[in-house]
Amino acid sequence: MRKTLVLAGVFALLSGALPAQAAAEIQAVTANVTHDPGNGTFSLTVQREGRTVVSPSPVGIRTAAADLTSGLREVSRSTRTVSENYRMTTGKRLDRTVRHTETRISIAGAGNARFDLVVRVADDGVAYRYELPEATDVLSEASAFSIPANANAWLMPYNPQHENRRFRTTAGGASAGEYGNPSLFEVGQDFVLLTESNVDGRYAGSSLRHTGGGVYQVQLKDQRVAGARIGPWRTVIVGDLATVTESTLVDDLAEPSRIADTSWIRPGKVAWSWLSEHSSPSDFERQKVYVDFAARNGWPYVLVDEGWSDKWVPELTRYARAKGVDILLWFHWNRLDTAAEREATLPLLQRWGVKGVKVDFMESDSQVRYQFYDAILADTAQRKLMINFHGSTIPHGLARTWPHLLTMEAVHGAEQLPLPDGNPIQPFTRNVVGSMDFTPVSLEVGPKVTSIGHEIALPVVFESGWTHFADKPEAYDRYPEALRFLDQVPTVWQQTELVNGYPGETAVFARRNGERWFVGGIAVGGARTMTAPLNFLGPGPWLVETIRDNGRSDVTRTSSRMSASDTLSVQVPANGGFAAVICPATEGRTTCYNSIPQVPATSLTITPTNSVTAKPGSTFEVTGSFTVNSIRPVMDVVLKPTAPEGWTVAGNPVTTRLLRQGEVLSGKWTVQVPVTARSGGFEVPIAAEYRVPDFPQVHVAKAVRGLVPLTGQAYVSDLPFDSATNGWGPVERDMSNGESGGGDGRPMSIAGTTYTKGIGVHAESEVVISLGGTCRAFTAKVGMDDETTSPGSSVFQVVGDGRVLQQSGVLRTGDAPLAFNVDITGVQVLSLKVTDGGDGKNFDHANWAEAHIACNA
């Protein structure tokens, strides 16, 4: 005889064991855990209002010590209510309330091996996980979900970056194979979304393997999960389409925030250049154009993607911050995958004033990669650097645990130049589980098969704590009315409502920020009338500004007064859409649009303006004067220098509570160079920081630049670089270039001869070192590294103060090393450059073996 435990929200705790029929009448969602004593198996059934949405599905786990999938018996059970309130920095709504019934069933198998099955039931779904009495290796799970074969399904073939297209099929009709979380099913009048929550480095991620007949088996992405004790939540979000879409169950199941003070975490809009012009992140002047665009449109960030240089990022950061804009930087994940790399890089980003990082190409759901997520989230939080994961797994509730995680990719987004038919699937699938970095609003980049109204609706339909806009400034400026709307759209929401829609056809969302509602609607297919019932509004008249298509030239905006009983109707073209801004229709109010804040005009002068030569143990004086040139005063001004790490400054910051137009705040300080100061270039930024309404803090800075001259003799690999650029991965010290990660090279080898000292690079590359005119000779043996599997070719150049001092001919793989012996007397700045040999940069792994500099004492 089967034994069934019915779990039905808080009433299961209050009323004890309820019969299934009574439980269904009291609670919309129920979970039935059934034990079959014949084979000793347990299964889970999920119902909504008495309708079965997940048929009996196996539960159980296999570890290195025991098979806990059959021959099982129940030992005990207990039930409690989980009640929590928490606040997010991103998502569908900031303030969250959790009310779950949690039942813990202690289960034993052969040899009295045990585990606890922990089941939670909420108004919007069911979740369960396995808890083991001690850490052990997990081999697999019996976990599966049995969905009616005729249920409509929206699935994505699994790949580790979660970027494949989603498509419509049926639960039973889908081909056998792996599908990615989250997966959506329409079971009669109910919807079911399968996914997982609270997955971190203690476990591995998973996919859903369709084994036939609508059964979807949880498949771990590691064959052996090491040292596991508490598994992730196997999560079933259940309800009508609005309940599923608006669900926060994935976040509700995650661990609480590990960051007490979140005041430094700031979502917002981001200007981003990579998609519209791939080479632009390597262009300092072009990035300044994006900064200027962001500043005048009130966008708080610019993301500088792959190609940026440490030669100019500090200056770009200062330029941006003076305009009220902050800089975010892209990284390949293996530039930050070790603790040593993060310890070297993250403090440097802090000193530059960078506010966050985009980390890319993780492309794995393995336990080891999840341990990387854990480590970099902890380290960036410690340094108060926000983060965005690309080429990543899906959200698992990490944004609750680490609220400085602003968004994640894991979507077939704008970078794939997608067709529009996938757009109305994403908000009902991928975006349900967390912020989604689709990089929307492609007006001129991409296939251009959607209307302008469709594109500008995407930042409302899609939720992302950071919204990275896909196109270039000139494109947006050519659509001024569309841009005006984008300037108004926030990325933080107090409330989210699905107004109407159906996966793959239409999606209309309303999201509230403060007193204003933003509505976005998208459709695919032919022209139609889209509607948005306004019953999400409160009482009183409302001013509704509707933004609709006007051919491909731009959009138009019209205003009307409406109420919560009205329905907004908009004619849209093929693959069209619309947007709206709604605010209280108070007396005299003519628009819901707010003015775009701008920072006041100010100026900062510093001395010395020429480069400083500072020997170890010496001192030098710096001054700064900050002036307000705007009629708007600034508040809480602090003027101070920041010395390099390990250096000291004599003199206190200069402060004032209020600085008005024409007033000047000045200071003078003495900088002490330590006797242990390393040679090379340095900066001493002098900054004025102040507050002004609409900006958390404005930072205006200029840098006194100088040089600690090199003395004695040293290998180049032991010296600090002013900057280093490389054609593939980072420049490596005392090893070959290797692959794209840091520290992954091999011993340097040229034509069979191995070298222990030198730098390994990949064309095109440049290493810059400040000398200060005190050195006399540079020597090296140069050539192509033997690790290249196909012929490489490069040209080596030694450049002093912009002048080529020695250059090789084309050197190829297998050529004998060429000796360089270069007179560098009087050279201030030395550059070691490697260019390709005229046949492209592929395989151009080049070595500056035994690179050495001799200087005066």
SS (H, E, C) 647-665: CEEECCCEEEEEECCCCEE
Q: Do the beta carbons of residue 705 and residue 682 sit within 8 Å?
A: yes
Residue 25 pLDDT level (bands cut at 50, 70, 90)? very low
pLDDT at 552 over 90: no
Q: Looking at residue 6, what is its pLDDT?
A: 54
As a whole number, mean pLDDT of residues 681-686 equals: 94
Cα–Cα distance measured from residue 90 to residue 759, given in angstroms and rounded to the nearest whole number: 43
* CATH number among 3.30.420.40, 1.10.3720.10, 2.40.50.100, 2.60.120.1060, domain 713-855: 2.60.120.1060
Residue 15 pLDDT level (bands cut at 50, 70, 90)? very low
**Domain range list for the chain:** 3-252, 268-491, 602-708, 713-855
pLDDT at 637 over 50: yes
DSSP string, 291-347: HHHHHHHT--EEEE-TT--TTTHHHHHHHHHTTT-EEEEEEEGGGS-SHHHHHHHHH
Q: Write down the architecture of domain 3-252 according to CATH.
A: Distorted Sandwich (2.70)
Q: Which of 178, 360, 689, 766 is catalytic?
A: 360
Name the phi and psi angles at 18, rounded to 5. -105, 145
Minimum mean pLDDT among 35-49, 661-675, 684-698, 826-840: which range? 826-840
Compute the mean pLDDT over every residue in the chain, rounded to the nearest whole number.
Answer: 94
> In angstroms, how far apart are the furthest CA atoms of the chain?
93
Q: Do the beta carbons of residue 241 and residue 428 sit within 8 Å?
A: yes
Q: Which of 123, 415, 663, 764 is catalytic?
A: 415
Q: Looking at residue 7, what is its pLDDT?
A: 57
What are the tokens at 383? 């340094």
- 285-310 residue pLDDT tens: 999 999 999 999 999 999 999 999 99
* Residue 415 is a catalytic residue: yes
Q: Looking at residue 19, what is its pLDDT?
A: 36
The burial of 672, by beta-carbon neighbours within 10 Å (0-12 exposed, 13-18 middle, 19 or more buried), is given as middle
- CATH superfamily ID and name for 268-491: Aldolase class I (3.20.20.70)
Residue 600 pLDDT level (bands cut at 50, 70, 90)? very high
Cα–Cα distance measured from residue 78 to residue 618, given in angstroms and rounded to the nearest whole number: 71
pLDDT at 848 over 70: yes
Instruction: Tell me the three state secondary structure of residue 188.
Output: coil
Cα–Cα distance measured from residue 476 to residue 675, given in angstroms and rounded to the nearest whole number: 53
Q: Looking at residue 544, what is its pLDDT?
A: 98
Cα–Cα distance measured from residue 437 to residue 411, given in angstroms and rounded to the nearest whole number: 8
When computed from its CA atoms, the radius of gyration of the chain, rounded to whole angstroms, is 30
Minimum mean pLDDT among 189-198, 520-529, 788-797: which range? 788-797
Q: Which candidate, 799, 802, 766, 759, places its Cα nearest to that of 781?
A: 759
- 337-353 residue pLDDT tens: 999 999 999 999 999 99
Q: Which helix (H) or strand (E) holds 526?
A: none
What is the arrangement of strands in the sheet containing 619-628, beginning at the earlier edge strand? 602-607, 619-628, 664-672, 648-650
Cα–Cα distance measured from residue 499 to residue 507, given in angstroms and rounded to the nearest whole number: 8
Q: Looking at residue 27, what is its pLDDT?
A: 60
Cα–Cα distance measured from residue 461 to residue 548, given in angstroms and rounded to the nearest whole number: 15
- 571-587 residue pLDDT tens: 999 999 999 999 999 99
- 247-286 residue pLDDT tens: 999 999 999 999 999 999 999 999 999 999 999 999 999 9
- 156-184 residue pLDDT tens: 999 999 999 999 999 999 999 999 999 99
* Residue 285 is a catalytic residue: no
Q: Write the class of the CATH domain 602-708.
A: mainly beta
Q: Which candidate, 786, 792, 790, places its Cα nearest to that of 754?
A: 786
As a whole number, mean pLDDT of residues 372-389 equals: 98
What are the tokens at 551? 């051919």
Q: Looking at residue 1, what is its pLDDT?
A: 42
Q: Looking at residue 23, what is its pLDDT?
A: 36
Q: Looking at residue 739, what is its pLDDT?
A: 85
List 81's β-bridge partners, or say none.
101
Cα–Cα distance measured from residue 28 to residue 11, given in angstroms and rounded to the nearest whole number: 11
- 191-227 residue pLDDT tens: 999 999 999 999 999 999 999 999 999 999 999 999 9
pLDDT at 562 over 80: yes
Share of the chain above pLDDT 90, in %: 91
Planar angle of CA 725, 731, 734, nearest 5 degrees: 155
For the beta carbon of residue 279, count every other beta carbon within 10 angstroms.
11
Name the phi and psi angles at 672, rounded to 5. -100, 120
